[in-house]
Chain A
Amino acid sequence: MPTKTDILDLYFMDSRAKLLDIASYLDRLDRHEGETDFRQEGFLNALQTMLETKENRTAAVLNTLSDSSTDPIEAVTIQAAYGAPQLEN
C-alpha cells in the first residue's frame, strides 16, 4: 500500500492545480456582470460540504449535488442534466 507521502507525490500537484482552477473560477464569476443561478448555489453548498465532512467527502459532495426527491416525475421537461439540483425539485 502506498504511504501518505506516496499519495502526495502522485496527486498533490494535480490537486493543487485543480484547487487554483476553482479559485480562479470563483473570481471569474465575480468579475463578470449578470446573475448566477442554481448551479453556483449548488457548487458553493458542495464546497461547504467538502470542508465540513471528515470522511467519504466525495460521496457527500455528490449527495449535495443530487436531486433529493424520490418519486418519478410525470414527464420530461428538459433532457439534459446540469450537475446541480434545481430548488423546485
Chain B
Amino acid sequence: MHYIEPHAHMVSRTTADYQQLAMAGCAALCEPAFWAGYDRASAQGFYDYYRQLTEYEPARAAKFGIPHYCWLCINPKESEDAGFAREVLQIIPDFIDKPNVLGIGEIGLNKNTKSELAIFEEHVDMAKKYDLPILIHTPHLEDKLKGTRLIIDALKNANVDPGSVVIDHVEEHTTGMVLDAGFWAGMTLYPESKCTAARAIDMLETFGMENIWMNSACDWGISDPLAVVKCALEMRKRQHCIKTVQKVIFENPARFLSQCKNFKLPETP
C-alpha cells in the first residue's frame, strides 16, 4: 500500500519518523507552515523557517526517498499582531518559486478575531495574485464551528475557486458545510482532539469519498506520524476494499495536489 501524507509538520519530528513513514509506504509528504509552539521574536525568524521548509526538510526527506512539499504563510496564531504579520507576508514572495512550494497555507483562524480574519484575507489575495491553491487551518475545539463559517464566508466574498482550496481539520459538525460549498475537506487524525480513525471512517461513510483526504498533522504535540496508514488498516477492518482505501489515502490527495504546479505524481509500486 502507498499513500500521500498531505499534512505533516516534519520540522518538529525526528529523522526516525521519516524512516517509519518510508517503511509504511509514504510516497510523498506535504508540510504546511505553522505555529512553532512559541511566537517568533522577529519576521526574520520566518525567513529562517521558510528556508527550513524549502531547503533543509526536502533534503532530509530525500534521504528516505520521500518527495517533500510545503505550503507557506504566517499562521493565524501569530497573525494577531497585524503589523508583524504583514512584515512576514512581504517575505513569502521570495520563496514562492522554490521547487517544493505548493501554495499558501495553512492559513485560517485561531480565536476568530478581526485581526486574524484581516490577515487571512490578505493571504487569500496573495494566493489569487500568484494563482496558488490554498490550505486552510480551522480553529480548535469550541472555536471551530464559528471559525469555519467565517472562513467560508470570506472565501466566498473573495470569489476564490473552491476546488482549489482544502479546508482542514473538519469534524462532523463542519464537514457538510465545507463539501456542500465545493471546497475540499481534510480530516486530521489525532489521538485526543480532532478525530479518531473510527470517526474519520464514519465521516467518509456519511459524506462520501469525494474531495476529502485524511492526514496525521503530526507536530510537536500528541500526534502520530503513522496515523494515516493506521486509519487505512481500520478501513480494511471496516470491510472497505483496497481500491476504496487507495482512493482516499493516495488518489484523492494526488488529485487535489495536481493543481499545484510544482507537485509531481510520486513513483509508486
Contact = CB atoms under 8 A, between A and B. Distances in A.
Interface stretch (A20-28, A29-37, A60-68): A60-68
Interface string B127-152: 00000000000011111111001100
A16 to B, nearest CB: 14
A63 to B, nearest CB: 5
B198 interface: yes
**Which one of B142, B149, B193, B198 has the highest number of Cβ atoms from chain A below 10 Å of its Cβ?**
B142
Interface in B230-259: 237-239
A83 to B, nearest CB: 5
Interface in B95-130: 110-117
A72 B112 contact: yes
A11 B196 CA distance: 13
Interface residues of A, number: 30
B202 A72 contact: no
Interface of B: 77, 80, 110-117, 139-146, 149-150, 171-173, 193, 198-199, 202, 237-239
A6 to B, nearest CB: 7
A65 B237 contact: no
Contacts of B140: 81
A45 B183 CA distance: 32
